[in-house]
A = this chain, B = another copy of it.
Amino acid sequence: MKQIFRPAEKLNRLPVFLMEQVVKQYRQEAQKALKAAQAGISVDQWIVLKQVSENNGCSQVEIAQSTVKDAPTTTRTIDQLVNKELIEKQLDPNDRRKYMVFVTDKGLQLIERLLPVVQSYRKLPVKGFLKEEQDTLLQLLNRMLNNLK
């Protein structure tokens, strides 16, 4: 017997339900693109690597804030990047609780190589969107975020 497809009409009217699917699909595409480029890092690792490169010498707390991840996740992601020699940690002499995190040459080279790949897959979900549609989307998402915090 042929499979009857029953769309979940109610669920599809829930923005967050759709958003979960978009996020999941997007992450799959992004991960696939990074793998195809033999990046050797995950999407989350890319985000942290890029943040470090843009705020060279910043602390882990600052990275956690800017990437909106919690402390343990940030610790582990940074560890992974250190193991791959893409970034380095150095104790802050002025505050020995802190580490200052720096991008390495190898990290910079990887960023340069991957930048076009990342820019490419980031365009994917909003393909065909007018500039004002993108703005509307961002505005609505920010309002949702404010409602939840």
Q: Are A148 and B22 in contact (CB under 8 A)?
A: yes
Interface of A is mostly: helix
Q: Are B67 and A11 in contact (CB under 8 A)?
A: yes
Q: How many copies does the complex hold?
A: 2
Q: Residue A16 at the B interface, CB < 8 A? A: yes
Question: Quick one: closest B residue to A19, CB to CB?
Answer: B19
- With A15-B125, A16-B26 known, 20 other A-B pairs at CB within 8 A are A3-B61, A3-B62, A6-B58, A6-B62, A8-B66, A8-B68, A11-B67, A14-B122, A16-B22, A16-B122, A19-B141, A20-B23, A20-B68, A22-B144, A26-B148, A29-B148, A124-B147, A125-B144, A127-B147, A136-B140
